[in-house]
């Protein structure tokens, strides 16, 4: 059997088990109807290799439980309980590289009816090694997708609902087949929403601009953090609707999210952004973020959960 790409232990049905034992029936409601919600959390190996640092773990857990409320996936765990299970699981897996942590609240019943009420839910957590998800060494190329971002009254866009990610998958495939690294999705109003799995910022006249949380975006934790970092560094930040044509004339554009981290954008729909290179605001935010998660001294240290690994 091929070696699992996952770390050896998972949390499944209330306890820690070897990853091979964390399996579900093919009739599972979440598998059939996409009735799950998840978090995506990175663990960064500290510069000295002795700790795993997690950025804003309590915030990720709060959003997970809130996503669960939206899809009525009730589990007997408060956000801090799930955070504590993750800390223990990281210690048990004792990774020696950067990791990605995937907590998953899902409808575990075998009912046939596509509904939410009364179907029991479970919590599962697994982990895997993960380096950079997009190549951050050069600015990426984006294209505006023909797939529109799901609207909140179609599939709640601020919840990380598994079924909703079909929307991201369609856009990501189209982007790849068009020769782009990722897609920018517009919402039904034709305003810029976000990328397939990341929020988007532009810089115009020196001000940092991002879509508001009512633009059918996921309320990104990295997004919220970068707004704070930028304001504290004296950069003007605006949360407002962004037109497609503003993308083409921005001085800088970047994506941000747990998976993507902070990725400078070099072109959109074939038009070069700024001088095509990473801009100064993007660079400042990247440096603030990466030094923090790798354990360097920072005023944002409060956002890091450090887990000693033996
Ligand atoms: N938008 C989407 C659709 C995402 O999947 C993600 C990744 N979770 C983000 C934005 C970024 O969110 P965060 O910064 O909380 O990872």
Q: List pLDDT tens digits, range 225-247.
A: 999 999 999 999 999 999 999 99
With contact defined as beta carbons under 8 Å apart, do 43 and 91 qualify?
Answer: no
Residue from 76, 78, 105, 41 nearest 305 by CA: 41
Instruction: Give CA separation, 214 vs 151, 153, 306, in Å.
Output: 10, 12, 33
At residue 36, the pLDDT reads: 98
| All structural domains of the chain with their residue ranges | 9-129, 140-293
Q: List pLDDT tens digits, range 91-138.
A: 999 999 999 999 999 999 999 999 999 999 999 999 999 987 667 779
For residue 182 and ligand 1, the question of a CB distance below 6 A is answered with no
For residue 167 and ligand 1, the question of a CB distance below 6 A is answered with no
Measured by CA distance, the residue closest to atom 12 of ligand 1 is: 220
Fold classified for 9-129: D-amino Acid Aminotransferase; Chain A, domain 1 (3.30.470)
Bridge partner list, 11: 16, 125
Residue from 233, 235, 171, 174 nearest 202 by CA: 235
**Distance from Cα 257 to the centre of ligand 1, integer Å:** 5
Tokens coding 304 = 């890091």
Is a pLDDT exceeding 90 seen at residue 4? no
Average pLDDT over residues 197-217: 98
Average pLDDT over residues 207-216: 98
Mean pLDDT of the chain: 96
For residue 198 and ligand 1, the question of a CB distance below 6 A is answered with yes
d(CA 25, CA 112) in angstroms, rounded, equals: 13
- 289: Cβ–Cβ under 8 A, 6 or more apart, which residues? 222, 225, 226, 229, 261, 262
d(CA 304, CA 60) in angstroms, rounded, equals: 12
Q: List pLDDT tens digits, range 40-67.
A: 999 999 878 899 999 999 999 999 999 9
180 — phi, psi (to 5°)?
A: -100, 160
Is a pLDDT exceeding 70 seen at residue 2? no
At residue 1, the pLDDT reads: 43
**Distance from Cα 164 to the centre of ligand 1, integer Å:** 13
Q: What is the dihedral of CA 295, 299, 304, 309, to 10 degrees?
A: 30
Q: DSSP labels for the chain?
A: -PPPSS-SEEEETTEEEEGGG----TT-HHHHH--EEE--EEEEEPTTSSEEEEESHHHHHHHHHHHHHHTT---S--HHHHHHHHHHHHHHH--SS-EEEEEEEEE-----S---TT--EEEEEEEEE---SS-TTS-EEEEE-SSPPPPTTTS-TTS-BGGGHHHHHHHHHHHHHTT-SEEEEE-TTS-EEEESSSEEEEEETTEEEE--TTSS----HHHHHHHHHHHHTT--EEE----HHHHHH-SEEEEEETTTEEEEEEEETTEEPTTSS--HHHHHHHHHHHHHHTT---TTGGGEEEEE--
Average pLDDT over residues 148-172: 97
With contact defined as beta carbons under 8 Å apart, do 50 and 309 qualify?
Answer: yes
Apex 218 CA angle, 57 and 165, nearest 5? 100
Ligand 1 atom nearest to CA at 224: 14
For residue 59 and ligand 1, the question of a CB distance below 6 A is answered with no
For residue 199 and ligand 1, the question of a CB distance below 6 A is answered with yes
Is a pLDDT exceeding 70 seen at residue 25? yes
Q: What is the dihedral of CA 286, 204, 240, 290, to 10 degrees?
A: 0
**Distance from Cα 25 to the centre of ligand 1, integer Å:** 28
**Distance from Cα 111 to the centre of ligand 1, integer Å:** 30
Fold classified for 140-293: D-amino Acid Aminotransferase; Chain A, domain 2 (3.20.10)
For residue 194 and ligand 1, the question of a CB distance below 6 A is answered with yes
Measured by CA distance, the residue closest to atom 11 of ligand 1 is: 257
At residue 213, the pLDDT reads: 98
Average pLDDT over residues 253-281: 97
For residue 220 and ligand 1, the question of a CB distance below 6 A is answered with yes
**Distance from Cα 204 to the centre of ligand 1, integer Å:** 23
């Amino acid at each position: 059997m091929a070696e699992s790409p996952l770390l050896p232990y998972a949390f499944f049905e209330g306890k820690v088990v070897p990853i091979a034992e964390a399996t579900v029936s093919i009739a599972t409601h979440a598998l059939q109807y996409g009735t799950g919600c998840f978090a995506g959390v990175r663990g960064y190996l500290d510069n000295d290799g002795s700790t795993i640092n997690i950025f804003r773990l309590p915030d990720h857990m709060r959003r997970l439980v809130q996503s669960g409320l939206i899809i009525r996936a009730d589990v007997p765990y408060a956000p801090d309980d799930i955070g504590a299970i993750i800390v223990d699981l990281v210690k048990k897996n004792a990774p020696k590289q950067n990791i990605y942590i995937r907590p998953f609240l899902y409808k575990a019943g075998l009912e046939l009816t596509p509904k939410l009420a009364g179907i029991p839910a479970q919590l599962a957590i697994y982990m895997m090694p993960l380096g950079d998800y997009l190549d951050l060494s050069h600015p990426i190329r984006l294209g505006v997708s023909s797939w529109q971002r799901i609207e909140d009254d179609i599939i709640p866009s601020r919840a990380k609902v598994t079924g909703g990610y079909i929307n991201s998958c369609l856009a990501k495939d189209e982007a790849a087949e068009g020769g782009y690294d990722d897609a920018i999705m517009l919402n039904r109003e034709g305003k810029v929403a976000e990328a397939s799995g990341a929020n988007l910022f532009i810089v115009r006249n020196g001000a940092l601009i991002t879509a508001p949380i009512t633009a059918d975006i996921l309320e990104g934790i990295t997004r919220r953090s970068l707004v704070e970092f930028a304001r504290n560094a004296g950069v003007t930040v605006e949360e407002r609707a962004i037109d497609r044509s503003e993308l083409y004339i921005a001085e800088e554009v970047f994506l941000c999210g747990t998976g993507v981290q902070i990725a400078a954008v070099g072109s959109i729909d074939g038009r070069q952004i700024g001088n095509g290179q990473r801009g100064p605001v993007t660079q400042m935010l990247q440096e603030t973020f990466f030094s923090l998660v790798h354990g360097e001294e920072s005023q944002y240290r409060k956002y890091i959960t450090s887990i000693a690994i033996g």
